[in-house]
Structure 1
Amino acid sequence: MEDVENNENLEGSIEDFETLNHREIPENVDWFLVEGILDFAELDTNIPITININGMVVSGVSISAREYLEGMRGVMRSMFGEKNEKIVDMVIDGSLEVYPTRDELLRKGHISRGYLHLKDAQYFSGGQPIPTEGGVLWRGKLASIDGFSWGQFKTGK
Structure 2
Amino acid sequence: MSLNSRDTILEMLVQAANKHDFSLNLTVNMKGSLVTGTLISAREYFEEMSEVFEGGNDLSRKISDKLLSASKQNVEQADEAAFIHLKDAKVYCGDSKPTPSGSEFLWRGRLDQADGFFLGKISEDE
Same fold (TM > 0.5):
yes
Residue 38 of structure 1, aligned match among 14, 36, 44: 14
Q: 1:57 aligns with which of 34, 42, 50?
A: 34
**For residues 45-124 of structure 1, what are the structure 2 equivalents within 5 Å?**
45-77=22-54, 81-100=56-75, 110-124=78-92
Residue 85 of structure 1: how far off its partner (Å): 4.4
Q: State the TM-score, normalized to the length of structure 2.
A: 0.85
Q: Helix, strand or coil: the match of 1:93?
A: helix
Deviation at 1:27, TM superposition (A): 0.5
Identity %: 29
Report if aligned partners of 1:77, 1:84 keep a CA contact under 8 Å in 2: no
The answer on whether the counterparts of 2:44 and 2:71 sit within 8 Å (CA) in structure 1 is no
Alignment gaps of 5+ in structure 1:
1-25
Q: Does 1:153 align with 2:122?
A: yes
Unaligned stretches of 5+ in structure 2?
none
Q: Deviations over 1:52-99 (max 9, x none)?
A: 101111100000000000011122346xx2443431233123312321
Displacement of 1:127: 4.9
The structural deviation recorded for 1:133 is 1.5
CA distance in 2, matches of 1:86, 1:138: 21
Question: What is the CA-CA distance between 1:49 and the residue it aligns to?
Answer: 0.4
Using the size of structure 1 for normalisation, the TM-score is 0.70
Q: What is the CA–CA distance in structure 1 between the aligned matches of 2:115 and 2:64, rounded to whole Å?
A: 34
**Structure 1 ranges of 4+ moved more than 6 A:** none
Give the superposed CA RMSD: 2.1
How many corresponding residue pairs? Answer: 123
Paired residue for 2:107, among 132, 138, 149?
Answer: 138
